Structure 1
Amino acid sequence: MVNNSIDEINNDIKSAFFENAHSPFVILDGDMNFVGVNHAGVKTLGINKENFIGKNLLDIFPYLEGTKRYDAYKKVIETGVPIGFDELLFKGANVEFKFMVRAFKIGEYLGVSTLDVTSLVETIAKLKSTQTSLEEVNQNLQRKNQELKDFSYVAAHDLRAPLTNLKSLLEMVLTADPGSTEIYPVVEKMQVVTKVMCDKIRALNQVISIKSNFSEYTEEMVFADVIGKIKLSHSQEIIEGRTIIKEDFSSCPSIEYNPVQLESILQNLMSNALKYRHHNRKLSIRISTKKVNEKTILTFKDNGLGFDQNLSNKIFLLFKRMHTHVEGLGIGLYIMNSIVSENGGKIEVSSKKNKGTEFRIQL
């Protein structure tokens, strides 16, 4: 009599735990039919209890048919060895949960207990996202610090030479006979050196201005319109050189981009192509755009002077010039590369000396 009372109390306790568990808990028979479900299970599944008991597991979760998980449940009943699953996804009416699941044998039945880890998984995902963002910020800071070091070095190096030259020329002027005609060539050289210094300082100011005022503002830009504007600004050179320009924007006619930055990219490409044309043949320029993996690819190809492909990793350096027979400071490609990099893009260059150059730019 006492033992029966204790069994009844134990059963009542077990029933209370089962029914009031915070997470869903179900019991299935050997044929995978539901014979028990607690309140949390009914609430999560969104099915009335009386319409739930007696239903087969595949009636409620048809996508489990033929899966390893379904076979694993059957095996638990056969062997009595419990199993566990992490982050199982359940989609209910307008809700989505992620559970840790434990399946085990209860007498001749299968018990399945769950733990709702939706919030935990979301928190972990946010932490991972935050970590990724911090890593990206750190990488950007390292990149900018390296750019600053490179910029400082190049600026100091390229200004040191004309300053030294100017100092030597000034000493020659100060030690020369004021009435001597030899002083005039020296003064002329001083003027040339001074101009070089002023040009480079203006170029440095331009680079600093672009880098410090980088705008994230964008609008839809039509490639044909931008190229049309650039061709108009170079119309005299294009006409005099009988330049052939072929455009194909059919695959990707427009892009969301900063107007000033996109124009600067195309302006530098066009200016370089015209400046470094091969004078033994007509200049031919091909410009096209296309989408590759949701990225806009701009291709700009010419048949100009080109350069040694082994030097392709140097063409974007500040004040670096591949050809010195025409005027230039070597900042155009540096600025273009800075703009593309700041927008998360990249540039690939292929070139052959006296054959031409192709820029492939992921904007």
Structure 2
Amino acid sequence: MKEQITMMKESSNNKGKFEKLIELNDELENYFNNTIIPQLFVDADMILRKFTPAAMKHFKLSADDVGRHIDEVSNNIRFPTIIENITEVIESSKDLEKEIQTTDKVWYQMNILPYIIRKENRTNGVIITFIDINDRIQVLKGYERLSRDYENIIHSISHDIKGPISNMEGLIRILKMTPASEEDNKLIIDMLSESVGNLRRTVEDLADVNHDMEFAKEPERVNFENVIEDAKLALRDKIAESNAKISTQIGVTEISFSRKNIRSIIYNLLSNAIKYRKPDSEPVVTISTENSGEQIMLKVSDNGLGIAEDKQQDIFNRYTRLHTDVEGTGVGLFIVKGMVESMGGRIEVKSKEGKGTSFMVYFNN
């Protein structure tokens, strides 16, 4: 009789434990079915045991994927080291948290938590959570670009306004030198007024960074010929002084880009082409644009001093100056490279000492 009572108690306890297990399983099932966060439950044998509806939708999983090895569905998740990360957590029984970018270019915060059987003190799998942080990452990248733009603007303001100021100084000297006719004075005043207007536009272009806060804003359409003319106007004194011959071959007339950046790029490359001329010859500069695969190429070529092969990458570093006898600060090409790369493009140089230099700027179309 006593044994029967003991057996009945044990049976009742087992039934209670079983019911509690069913209840816990139902709660877990209910949680997985109702959470909006993509989550996966992978056991210690790397078998996918469960996933949330959000994970099913996001990673295009199906009910048939339950019971499959995680390696068989890793292509859906599109993160190449996920198996290594799961193994690391199972072996260490420690949480893993990292920001990842999947092969479809989406950013997530991935948390892998060990699923520990407390009674046995062993890890029997992992629960993986994916939180979409793509918007936050893009905003951070936007602020990083904005920070680089501010740095470029600081250098550009001091660099790009030298041309217009030089024009104005030259015209003022002419006015001061000798008395001239009323007609000549009017012409000089008109030219001075034009230089002042160009200087104002340059400063406004460089200082207008409010639109850079709108990271999703579409780039404006910029006409290459118009910007080239602006740069030539800003460098009018240097062009006249050096008797530079500037020609254009515009195969692509427009580009979607920041106008102030395009202007600064062309101004810097044209200014350098004139500045680093050979002492015994007049500068000849060709500015061209053309389609290059899926990109647009802007090319500025000259017949100047050229650059030694072992120095051709150094010129893009800040404050690098290869010719100390020529006026400059060594930030022009550093600015250009920063502007181009911030928009996903690149700049290349081909040069030979004594034969001239070509800069090729590639913009995403």
Band the TM-score falls in, shorter-chain normalisation: 0.3 to 0.5
| TM, length-normalised to structure 2 | 0.48
Higher Cα radius of gyration? 1
| TM, length-normalised to structure 1 | 0.48
